[in-house]
Structure 1
Amino acid sequence: MQIVDGVYLHVIQTEKFKTNHLTCRFSADVSKVNKARRALVAQMLATATADYPNPRLLRQKLAELYGAGLSTKVTTKGLVHLVDLDLSAVGSEFALGGEDTVNELMALLRSILFNPLRTVEQYQTSVFDMEKANLINYLEADKEDIFYYSDLELDRLYFTHDSLKQSSYSTPEQVAKENSYTAFQEFQRMLREDRIDIFLVGKIDEYKILQGLHQLPFSPRQVSLNYQYQQNLTNITREKLETKQANQSVLDLAYHVPSVYGGEDYASLLVANGLLGLFPHSLLFTELREKAGLAYTISSHLDPFQSVLKIQAGIDRDQRQRVMQLVTKQLHALKSGRFTSDLVKKTKKMLVNSATLSEDYAKSLIELAYNRSVFGEKAKTLSEFQQEVQAVSKQDIVRLANKIKLQAVYFMEGEQ
């Protein structure tokens, strides 16, 4: 439902949750945004407003709403940079004082968006500087997570698009360059120019919410976004080896895949990834970890919005070549059809079960509603998804697997 051009309301009516959930999502072209500034905006959105001018007062307000939740998250979908503001509160029927908690969440959203903690045209400096320091500390700490660090290095190696070579939160160095003025101006630009989607999940009085949203000063905007990114396939495999102080080594591989979210081969790609390394029964886990004992952890991850399949393994430094050989062997098994029908059935069952279980989470319902909004019929309902997965044949898997091509290899060699 459109509030004004580029601003949308999505109401998901359900009685399965005891809480009501609200998400306000800002979406913008990843190549045209300043990630560091948007990450700082996300920090400030969850910290204070002019009505609640310090974190303690904002937490007190949330506590009064029976322990309401407030958080933010920054992600990337294809070539779109997303900033999510998430609010949740107990349903009105469970409020001891009879409060309309959905109305309270909407009032808090209005305070966060349109009454921010500012001085003239910048964020209030003392609170902002504290949140800036916190964000830098978070990003510096992430570097110490060898798996997170290795994944970022793989992205730098694999992607040719500059905007995808770094974290959605930018880098500590870039964040350090920003200040309360540049971040606040970015927030104002987001309010004016980003696509904005507001999601409400629970027992919702849609008419009442719509009336309230029409009173908010949203301005029309025209936004063109690309949620699908597919890099050109090359004959060159980019490689990088790096040594770090760590107890174990990490091997990361990036493969170009031919299909995109909702595409013709999408279901086949999901099943192939499930067979390869998504589940505990998959080839990589059983062959490399359980049988060969070569990996402390190993899995594959598919990003259908950026058409990349990644494999990550925690291993001993002297096992890199052996692990590479066995990973290649398992992928070749997919390409040549050397897998059982029982393994396919189990994988399909796990995929369907995972999709079914995801509907027990409000955020998953919100993500599905967003995908339906931007992808239309390509975003399948649960029953459609189940039908497409069950229809995947062994020939489909083999045909799809033969189009998966290795493009980048990153090895972080741990040394003590």
Structure 2
Amino acid sequence: MKIAQGVHLHLLKNRKFKTNHITFRFSGKLEEKTVARRVLVAQMLAAANAVYPTVQKFRERLADLYGADLSTKVSTKGLVHIVDIDLVFIKDSYSLTKTSVLEEMLNFLGAVLFAPLVSVAQYQSKIFDVEKKNMLHYLEADDEDSFSRSFLALKKLFFNQPDLKLSPYGYPDLFNSETAFTAYQEFQKMIKEDLLDIFIVGEFDDYRMLQLITKFPLENRQKDLQFSYRQVYKSITQEKIERRPVEQSVLQLGYHIPIQYDDPNYFSLLVLEGMIGGFDHSKLFTAVREKAGLAYTIGCQLDIYTGLLNVYTGIDKNNRNQVLKIINKQFADLKIGSFSSSLIQQTKLMLTESVKLSEDDTNAIIERTYNQHYLNINKQAEYWISKFESVSKEDIVNAASQIRLQAVYFLEGGQ
């Protein structure tokens, strides 16, 4: 439902949940020069505003609303940077008063968005400085995590596009140059220029929700965003080794995937991902961890929006070459069709169960709705299940033939 140009309200009726859920989503361009500012905006939105000017008053108001929860998060899809405000609260039918908790939460959201805590055209510096410091501590802790650090290093090797080398949170140096002024100016730009999506999930009156949302001063905006990025495959594999004083070594592999979400091979690729490393019965888990006993952990993740299939594994540094050889063998097997029909069927069963479980996940419902709106990806569970069922062995071999190793990063542990 269009509220204004570039502003959409998604009313998702659902009686399954004991809570109602509101997500207010900003979608803007992923850029190195603005990513830290947008993250700081997310921090400030969940801290205080002019109506509730301290963190304590902000949290006390949420507690008064039967322990409602407000949180923010950032993510990316292709070259799109997303900032979410998430509110979870009890349904009106569970309230002990005649006051509508849902309407109170929308009023609270209005204060968060349209009554920011400012002084002289910038965020209130005392709270801003605390939130900036908290964010820097988070980034420092994330850098100490071997898997997070090594995955970011792999992205830097894999991608040609500089902005895709970033984490959704940026990196510490970007935050050091940001101030209460630059962050507040970015928020003003977001509220006026970002694509905005408001998701309400649960039990409510459609007309009343429309009445309340249209009171928000949201203006028309026009923004072209790039949800899908594909780079040309490079014949030279990028490789890097970094040594750190940690016990466990991490091997990260980046595979180039030309298949996109609107490609006929999309569902074949999803089945392939499950077969190679998406589940505990997968080829990588079975061959590297169970049979060879060479991995503490192993798996893969597919980013369909950027064409990156990432295989990650925690190993002993002395086993790197042996592990890499076994991983290469598993991909080679897929390309020649050397895998059983039982592996295909078990993977399809797991994918089907995942789709069914997502029907009971509010966040999954919101993501499917968002993807359908902007990317024209069908959100119906029955459609996905039927597509998985129709994938043949030949389809999987065809998808596997398009996968090529592009980058190898090794975080070598040891003193």
- Counterparts of 1:407 and 1:311, CA distance in 2: 12
Structure 1: where are the runs of 5+ without partners?
none
The structural deviation recorded for 1:157 is 0.8
Task: Show the counterpart of 2:275.
Answer: 275
Counterpart-to-counterpart distance in 2, 1:366 and 1:388: 21
**Distance in 1 between the 2:246 and 2:54 partners?**
39
The one-letter code sitting in structure 1 at the alignment partner of 2:275 is: L
1:169 alignment counterpart = 169
AA matched with 1:245: P
For the 8 Å contact 2:20–2:88, the answer to whether it is kept is yes
Using the TM superposition, give the Cα deviation of residue 258 of structure 1 relative to its aligned residue in structure 2, in angstroms: 2.0
Q: Secondary structure at the match of 1:49?
A: coil
SS in 1 for 2:321: helix
1:180-234 C-alpha deviation (Å, 9 max, x unpaired) = 0000000000001000000000002111111112121111111111111111111
Match of 1:385 in 2: 384
How far apart are residue 100 of structure 1 and its match? 0.9
Show the counterpart of 1:65.
65
| Equivalent residue number for residue 151 of structure 1 | 151
Q: Which residue of 1 aligns with 2:56?
A: 56
1:47-98 deviation digits (Å, cap 9, x = unpaired): 0011111111111111111111111111110111100110110001011223
2:215, 2:371 → 1: CA distance?
27
Backbone CA RMSD of aligned residues:
1.0
In structure 1, C-alpha distance between the alignment counterparts of 2:355 and 2:151, rounded to whole Å: 25
- The structure-2 alpha-carbon separation of the partners of 1:32 and 1:318, relative to structure 1 and needing over 3 Å to count, comes to closer
Distance 2:99 2:344 in 1: 50
Aligned to 1:410: 409
CA contact (8 A) 2:32 2:166 kept: no
2:77 corresponds to: 77
- Provide the rounded CA distance (Å) in 2 between the counterparts of 1:328 and 1:120: 59
Name which of structure 1's ranges 219-228 and 256-265 shifts more when overlaid on structure 2. 256-265
User: Aligned partners of 1:259 and 1:379: how far apart in 2?
Assistant: 17
Distance (Å, rounded) in 1 between the aligned partners of 2:202 and 2:322: 51
Q: Report matched runs for 1:324-339 at 5 Å.
A: 324-339=324-339
Query: SS of the counterpart of 1:327?
Result: helix
SS at match of 1:26: strand
Alignment match, 1:15: 15
- Give 3-state SS (helix, strand or coil) of 2:31's partner: helix
Worse overlay, 94-103 or 294-303: 94-103
Q: What is the CA-CA distance between 1:278 and the residue it aligns to? A: 0.3
1:277-317 CA distances to partner (integer Å, 9 max, x unpaired)?
Answer: 00000000011001100000000111111111000000000
Shift of 1:31: 3.5
CA distance in 2, matches of 1:54, 1:336: 62
Alpha-carbon distance between aligned partners in 2 of 1:389 and 1:182, rounded to the nearest angstrom: 47
Cα-to-partner distance string for 1:88-119 (whole Å, 9 max, x where unaligned): 10001011223311111110110000001111
Is the contact between residue 24 and residue 196 of structure 1 (CA under 8 Å) also seen in structure 2? yes
Asked if structure 2 preserves the Cα contact closer than 8 Å seen for 1:277 and 1:284, the reply is: yes
CA distance in 1, matches of 2:257, 2:263: 12
Matches of 2:125 and 2:196, distance apart in 1: 27
Count the aligned residue pairs.
415
Q: Distance in 1 between matches of 2:191 and 2:385?
A: 38
Deviation at 1:33, TM superposition (A): 5.7
The 2-side partners of 1:379 and 1:43 are apart by 33
User: Is it true that 1:304 corresponds to 2:313 in the alignment?
Assistant: no
SS in 1 for 2:230: coil
Structure 1: distance between partners of 2:379 and 2:36: 34
- Residue of structure 2 in register with 1:205 after alignment: 205
* Identity rate, percent: 47
Instruction: Point out 4+ residue stretches in structure 1 off by more than 2 angstroms.
Output: none
Aligned to 2:265: 265
Conserved 8 A contact 1:66-1:89: yes
Q: 1:72, 1:85 within 8 Å by CA — same for their partners in 2?
A: yes
Deviations along 1:249-280, one digit per CA (max 9) or x if unpaired, are 00000001121123211100000010000000
The alignment status of 1:362 with 2:362, answered yes or no, reads yes
Give the corresponding residue for 2:398.
399
Partner of 2:232: 232
Contact 1:262 1:379 in 2 (8 A): no
Structure 2: how far apart are the matches of 1:88 and 1:96? Answer: 17
Correspondence for 2:193: 193
Deviation of 1:379 (Å): 2.8
For residues 169 and 283 of structure 1, the distance between their equivalents in structure 2, rounded to whole angstroms, comes to: 33
- What's 1:241 paired with? 241
Matched residue, 1:110: 110
Once the two structures are superposed, what CA deviation does each residue of 1:291-346 show, in whole Å capped at 9, x if it has no partner?
Answer: 10000000011111111100000000000000000000011111111111011000
The one-letter amino acid paired with 2:325 is Q
Given that 2:73 and 2:83 are in contact with CA atoms closer than 8 Å, whether structure 1 keeps it comes out as yes
Does the 8 A contact of 1:35 with 1:168 survive in 2?
yes
Q: 2:100 — aligned with what?
A: 100
Aligned residue in 1 for 2:219: 219
Q: CA deviation at 1:32?
A: 7.8
Match of 2:287 in 1: 287
Q: State the secondary structure of the residue aligned to 1:313.
A: strand
Distance of 1:373 and 1:354 partners within structure 2? 22
Inter-partner Cα distance in structure 2 for 1:261 and 1:64: 43
Instruction: Specify every segment of 5 or more residues in structure 2 that has no aligned partner in the other structure, as ranges.
Output: none
